[in-house]
Amino acid sequence: MRLMLRIVLLFISGVAMASELPKTVAETTDYKSTSRYDDVISFVHAIQSIDPGIRVETFATTNEGRALPLVIVGPAGVVDPRTAHASGLPVVFIMANIHAGEVEGKEAAQMLLRDLVSSKRKLREKLVILIAPIYNADGNEKISTDHRKEQVGPVNGVGVRENGQGLDLNRDYMKLESPEARGLVHNVLDRWDPLVTVDLHTTDGSYHGYQLTYAPMLTPDADSALIEFERETLLPGIRARMKTRYGKETYYYGNFIDQLKPEKGWYTFDNRPRFGNNYAGLRNRFAILSEAYSYIDFRARVEVTQQFLDEILAAVSLHGQTMTKIAARADERAGSAKLKKLGARFEIKPWRKSTTILWERSTPAKAGEGIQNPETGSGPRIVRTGEIVPMKITDYGIFAPTEKSEVPFAYLIDARAKRVIENLRTHGIIVERLNAPSKLGVEQFVITKTEHVAREFQKHRELTLTGEWKSNDVSFDAGTYVVRMNQPLARLAFYLLEPRSDDGLFDWNFFDEILGDVAPVSRLMTVTPLNAGVGDGE
Ligand SMILES: [Zn+2]
């Protein structure tokens, strides 16, 4: 009797659910339009009315006053970071629309949320899934048909790349100058500590044979065990499933050095942690950058992104325990002061000397015809042929340090560097202060040259310091800031504080006003008892 009643109830609720499940704007417009902010919020509310177990937090409020939703989907009882981590389940964070012209992630993320309250409920027994469907909400609301004209739909237009301040949020992970990035780092990455972050984009570079390309953490300063697992197990497994289940070709993100001369090679983008995938790596966590192919239509891009998300979730369900251990060991290695040297500056390197890359054959155009070569920009115009040709070429897919620096026991930071300290704390780095004046044998970075690049980028003229470390006995005032490097975020702290770092706070002008003959950051190389603490009433 009881069992029958349950079956009847399940049947009734199943029918009710199917009819009430909301549709995305992409679906209701036959993929002619993409969702506005209000559409996404209504969609999330509709999902919550079906399943009150779905929680929503605001992780940031944009410059234009929009509250950014973080949707939390897990088993019953998971309501916050504490209960999430107590469940022992891997936390996967999916973020969409960081570039608001690249909109299929936003649609696919909503569809995934709908699946998680209907057909894919079972996944919630294996994973805690966090979804930020509309990260760059301010950029999204500037929808116009003038944006990303090379992209195949949606025909009613898309938003813009930048946020309300004119900043690219995927260059803001280190300097944290936008409320969106500060909220993301503090309220999602630091507070929820996701094991895996998935960042959804659209690529509009080279013409190739992949419906979607992806990238892991590309900074060699990330823990090598994380990088290795992602490159050797996680991503190859997902790629194989994309092929066998859906017949779709995917590969590591890249572009041809020259569309007309593919033999020159395929190269990835950047090692610097201003990009989210690299940033997550420095936090000892996994990251997957997803780039749907701009030249397939909107419907196909939404579909391949959905399939890619499904396969990521399946793979993390499968490997979650191993991945959790790898991440915990990475924390432990950093936290026990076992890091010796890390890279400060880098160069791109071949990952595979000869590998098969799917090239769309392209030919030089006659005068006055053809389209722009996506790689050489202003060079000779080209014609796409539509023919996909496997090419054996070099994959420049990794980076290696050209310059390394020693990881100290602690950094000491000038008490005037308030913005620096605020930044470090937002990242979750533990910062202390000296309780009393202290004379310490440290290394100081003696500056021989300061060079600002001529071209402004993200409202900065980035700085390169040249100089060398010299040993000195220095008297530090009480109140001098201290960052001990035996903490899990030591890799990130190093990258932010090293004077020669290619993406640190020196690079981003945080120290410009207090630069003297020596850098306002010293390093203490040996284990030294310090009279310092965090509680200073600031
Ligand atoms: Zn993008």
Q: Give the pLDDT confidence of 266-305 residue by residue, as tens digits.
A: 999 999 999 999 999 999 999 999 999 999 999 999 999 9
Instruction: Give the pLDDT of residue 11.
Output: 44
Whether residue 537 is predicted with pLDDT greater than 50 in this model: the reply is: no
Q: How far is the CA of 291 from the centre of ligand 1 (A)?
A: 7
Rounded mean pLDDT of 26-35? 98
The pTM for the full model equals: 0.95
Tell me the CA–centroid distance for residue 310 and ligand 1, in Å: 20
Q: Output the CA 290–ligand 1 centroid distance in Å.
A: 9
pLDDT of 379 above 80: no
Report whether pLDDT(90) > 90: yes
Beta bridge partners of 484: 410
Q: Strand 532-533 and strand 432-434: pairing?
A: antiparallel
Over residues 376-390, mean pLDDT: 86
**Which percentage of the chain shows pLDDT scores above 70?**
95
Q: What are phi and psi of 290, to 5 degrees?
A: -115, 130
Task: Please give the distance, rounded to the nearest whole angstrom, from the Cα atom of residue 201 to the centre of ligand 1.
Answer: 4
Ligand 1 centre distance from Cα of residue 521 (Å): 34
Give the largest Cα separation in the chain, rounded.
85
Q: What is the pLDDT of residue 368?
A: 80
Determine the Cα–Cα distance for residues 489 and 429; give it in Å rounded to an integer.
Answer: 6
What would the mean pLDDT of 359-387 be, rounded to a whole number?
85
Q: What is the mean pLDDT of residues 108-131?
A: 97
Name the CA radius of gyration of the chain, rounded.
Answer: 24
If one compares 340 and 378, the residue with the highest pLDDT of the two is 340
**Ligand 1 centroid distance, CA of 102 (Å):** 6
CA of residue 221 to ligand 1 center, whole Å: 23
Cα–Cα dist 534/42, whole Å: 43
Note the pLDDT of residue 380.
78
DSSP letter for each residue of 300-345: HHHHHHHHHHHHHHHHHHHHHHHHHHHHHHHHHHHHTT---EEEEE
Alpha carbon of 484 to ligand 1 centroid (Å): 35
Residue 69, pLDDT score? 98
Q: Within 10 A of 528 (CB to CB), how many other CB atoms are there?
A: 12
Binned at pLDDT 50, 70 and 90, residue 381 comes out as confident
Identify whether 179 is preceded by a cis peptide bond (ω within 30 of 0): no
For residue 8, the model assigns a pLDDT of: 42
pLDDT tier at 1, thresholds 50, 70, 90: very low
Ligand 1 center to 150 CA (angstroms): 14
Q: Assess whether pLDDT exceeds 90 at residue 141.
A: yes
Q: How far is the CA of 213 from the centre of ligand 1 (A)?
A: 12
Nearest to 63 by CA among 143, 146, 142, 174: 142
Query: How far apart are the CA of 154 and the centre of ligand 1, in A?
Result: 16
According to the model, what pLDDT value does residue 378 have? Answer: 66
Ligand 1 centre from 335 Cα, in Å?
A: 33
| CB distance 424 to 496 below 8 Å | yes
pLDDT for 17 beyond 70: no
Cα of 489 vs centre of ligand 1, distance in Å, is 26
Give the three-state DSSP class for 173: coil
pLDDT band at 12 (very low <50, low <70, confident <90, very high): very low
Contacts of residue 43, Cβ cutoff 8 Å, sequence gap at least 6: 22, 24, 35, 110, 113
Helices 2-20 and 37-50: crossing angle in degrees, nearest 10, is 170
> Which of helix, strand or coil describes residue 506?
coil
Q: How far is the CA of 415 from the centre of ligand 1 (A)?
A: 37
Residue 532 CA, distance from chain mean position: 34
How many A from CA of 199 to the centre of ligand 1?
9
Please, what is the average pLDDT of the chain? Answer: 94
> Domains in the chain and their CATH numbers?
2-335 (3.40.630.10), 347-399 (no CATH), 406-533 (no CATH)
CA of 438 to the centre of ligand 1 (A): 47
**Spacing, Cα 99 to ligand 1 middle (Å):** 5
DSSP 10: H
CA count, 13 A, side-chain hemisphere, 474: 20
Question: Is the pLDDT reported for residue 2 higher than 70?
Answer: no
Whether pLDDT at 182 is above 90: yes
Q: How many whole angstroms from 516 Cα to the centroid of ligand 1?
A: 38
**Contact, 427 vs 190, CB < 8 A?**
yes
pLDDT in tens, 456-498: 999 999 999 999 999 999 999 999 999 999 999 999 999 999 9
**Range 447-455 average pLDDT:** 97
3-state secondary structure of 123: helix
Which pLDDT belongs to residue 511? 98
pLDDT value for 377 = 67
HSE (side-chain half, CA atoms, 13 Å) at 330 = 26
